[in-house]
Amino acid sequence: MCGIVGYIGSQQAAGIILDGLARLEYRGYDSAGMAICDGEKIRISKSVGRLKVLEELTHNGETMPGCCGIGHTRWATHGEPNTTNAHPHYNTDETIAIVHNGIIENYLALKEMLTKKGYQFQTDTDTEVVAQLLDYYYDGDPMMAITRMLHRVQGSYALGILFAQHPDRLFAVRKNSPLIVGKSPNGYLIASDVPAILKYTRNVFYVDNQEIAVLKQDQLNFYNIDGDEIEKEEVTIEWDANAAEKGGYEHFMLKEMYEQPKTVTDTLLPRIKDGDIVIDELNMTDDELAAVKKIHIVACGSAYHAGVTGKYVIEGMARVPVEVDLASEFRYRNPILEEGAMVVVISQSGETADTLAALRESKERGFKVLAVVNVVGSSIAREADSVLYTWAGPEIAVATTKAYSAQLIAMYLLAMKLAKVRGKIDDVELSAMIEDLKCIPSQIEMLLGNEKRIQRFANRYVGAKDIFFIGRGIDYSIALEGSLKLKEISYVHSEAYAAGELKHGTISLIEEGTLVTAIATQPELYPKTVSNIVQVKARGAFVLAVTTEGNDDIEKNADYVIYIPQTNPYFMNSLAIIPLQMFGYYVSVGKGFDADHPRNLAKSVTVE
């Protein structure tokens, strides 16, 4: 999704902004631009395509002198991706410039109103309307113009704003789109996401909805929508700046796959104390937890897949009914939430618009929401009643790997805690599970060691048109994630099916040589999945099986086998996903794609 960076201070702004935008490239974009105020005028440069085009255009920012500026990477929503529609946008006399993330929902009505007053528009964007609206309200007092504008616009926005008549100030405001302010020794910064400014500072302020930040070279003030000054708490970002660097890996995705042992450890160990699962963050007593009658898990994409795994594990272990919803469906389906239900939302970014809306919907209905979130201080983390953080650190690649692995751990912890307080497992069973979980990081490490073998296999399939993933139970939830990993970065059509469902239609798609990846890690379901392997083999499929060590007999039916170590069947997903992530990654690399920046995709989806 779009990215915003802004700077005001003692240094030249353009270089800092370009650097920050480069760190937001992972969010996905189709054009980029920046506006720099040189003390008198605001100059704008913009270009279509990668950021390096803007860097070349501005000679790495050298042709745009000035110590105050805003920059943007745009992911087109209103109007095609071209230079005109790229941000920043001016008002008519080029004295106001803005960058914007989000969508102004009433922009057509505002445009009509402004057109009647003689304003003309150069772009197809909703954003230009905000620049002109600010112009309309501006009478020399930028704060007045901004507060009046805020009362008129509807929708979601994070805005960086410059006024040529006030070259010593940078304004920022947001509603339902993330925005932070950073305090560095050489000035202040704004950004839509932490990695953009980590190089300069770890001291940040989270701007809340409809708050206005006014940044000067050596002063920072915050105001509410009425223009009254407010106090904000300074927060230290714990993320290590190196965590947002590639560190010698070809792609962030590869690096993040290799970080999974650490991610799992960091998410797991703080919640294991004296042989028990302790999740203080739940803010619930054991009795309250035991009384939970139903759990609704709501999420999008891979986070949803972690939720599907959560359903199998929680229902199986704790015998609590779980419903899993795609957030985009949940928010509009008028879900039935009954007394005693608990809502769990899962999100890496903590900014996914649909998940945030589902959270709000649940809270409005009076239900407490637990958020499983990776980004500290994100909107979902701040609005949820309690937060179970996945300590994966910054995840840069669009295709999630380590955050997903951490989400799985969060699901297991929740399941084990529920099972324990409901008396469904005893201390001995719990201890055995904890021991199994503690082995997961080294087992992942071992599986990562298969990289070359999986790369060779993936190279055989770079030309594949369709690839199917099948599995039963928990293996089905792995199939869903394996299939998404492949398709989102390699653009190979791929589907995941519950293996037993094949014969109800999908099997007609199997042709000679079609690759079917069969996941068979669940002992009770193993013979059934093998039967499904036999069925697709009979139709000409080439079968890649992912199964546990000891299931050597599968070689009679599968063409290629990846063995994963033994663990508690509930935790298999954490191991089986590793070769599937690698497979997706290497098909993408084999096809010459940039695995970190898949086409049409954004890291955090802050619009519907």
Q: Which of residues 286-325 bind ligand M6R (CB under 6 A)?
A: 300-303
603 is catalytic: yes
Whichever of 483 and 551 has its CB closer to ligand M6R, that residue is 483
Report residue 199: phi and psi, to 5°: -65, -30
In this chain, which of 36, 194, 198, 399 binds ligand M6R, going by CB under 6 A?
399
What is the closest distance, in whole angstroms, from the C-beta atom of residue 604 to ligand M6R in the complex? 5
Shortest spacing between CB 127 and ligand M6R, in angstroms: 23
**Does 2 qualify as catalytic in the annotation?**
yes
Give the pairing type, strands 180-184 and 187-191: antiparallel
CB burial of 43-55 (b: ≥16 within 10 Å; e: otherwise) equals: bbbbbbebbeebb
Q: Which residue has the tokens 């068979």?
A: 520
Contact 6, 207 (CB under 8 A): no
Binder among 25, 128, 488, 596 for ligand M6R (CB under 6 A): 488
Q: Which CB, 153 or 607, lies closer to ligand M6R?
A: 607
Q: How many CB atoms lie within 10 A of CB 40?
A: 9
User: Toward ligand M6R, which CB reaches closer, 326 or 558?
Assistant: 326
Contact 211, 173 (CB under 8 A): yes
Buried b or exposed e, range 1-34, using 16+ CB within 10 angstroms: bbbbbbbbbeebbbbbbbbbbbbbbbbbbbbbbb
294: number of CA atoms within 13 Å, CB side? 11
Q: Which stretch binds ligand M6R (CB under 6 A): 96-104, 168-176, 310-318, 344-352?
A: 344-352
Name the residue number minimizing CB distance to ligand M6R: 301
Minimum Å gap between C-beta 295 and ligand M6R is 18
| 581 is a site residue for ligand M6R (CB under 6 A) | no
CA 608: distance to chain centroid?
A: 14
14 sits near ligand M6R (criterion: CB under 6 A): no
Q: Which is nearer to ligand M6R, 297 or 399 (CB)?
A: 399
Max CA pair span of the chain: 80
3-state helix, strand, coil in the chain (%, to 5): 40, 25, 35
Closer to ligand M6R by Cβ: residue 475 or 481: 481
Catalytic residue among 2, 37, 68, 300: 2
User: Considering only residues 260, 265, 349, 548, which one is a binding residue for ligand M6R as defined by CB under 6 A?
Assistant: 349
CA R_g for the chain: 25
Any contact of residue 604 with ligand M6R (CB under 6 A)?
Answer: yes
Residue 305's SS3 state is: helix
Q: Based on the shown chain and the rule CB under 6 A, indicate whether residue 355 belongs to the binding site for ligand M6R.
A: yes
Choose which of 132, 347, 379, 522 interacts with ligand M6R (CB under 6 A): 347
Task: Specify the stretch interacting with ligand M6R by CB under 6 A; choose among 26-34, 227-235, 343-351, 492-500.
Answer: 343-351
Answer for which of 260, 263, 328, 400 binds ligand M6R (CB under 6 A) is: 400
Name 45's bridge partners. 34
- Counting contacts by CB under 6 A, is residue 606 touching ligand M6R? no
The interface with ligand M6R within residues 165-194 (CB under 6 A) comprises none
At 150 the three-state DSSP class reads helix
Amino acid occupying residue 192: S
Q: How many other β-carbons are positioned within 10 Å of the β-carbon of residue 120?
A: 8
CB of 263 to ligand M6R, least distance (A): 14
- Does residue number 605 form part of the binding site for ligand M6R (CB under 6 A)? yes
The one-letter amino acid at 378: S
Q: Least CB distance from residue 605 to ligand M6R, whole Å?
A: 5
**Residue 396 interacts with ligand M6R (CB under 6 A): yes or no:** no
Residues facing residue 538 across a β-bridge: none
Q: What's the token pair of residue 199?
A: 């190089």
Q: Residue 204's closest CA among 54, 376, 35, 36? A: 376
| Count of residues engaged in binding ligand M6R, rule: CB under 6 A | 16
For the annotated catalytic residues, the residue numbers are 2, 603
Binding residues (CB under 6 A) for ligand M6R: these are 300-303, 347-349, 352, 355, 398-400, 484, 488, 604-605
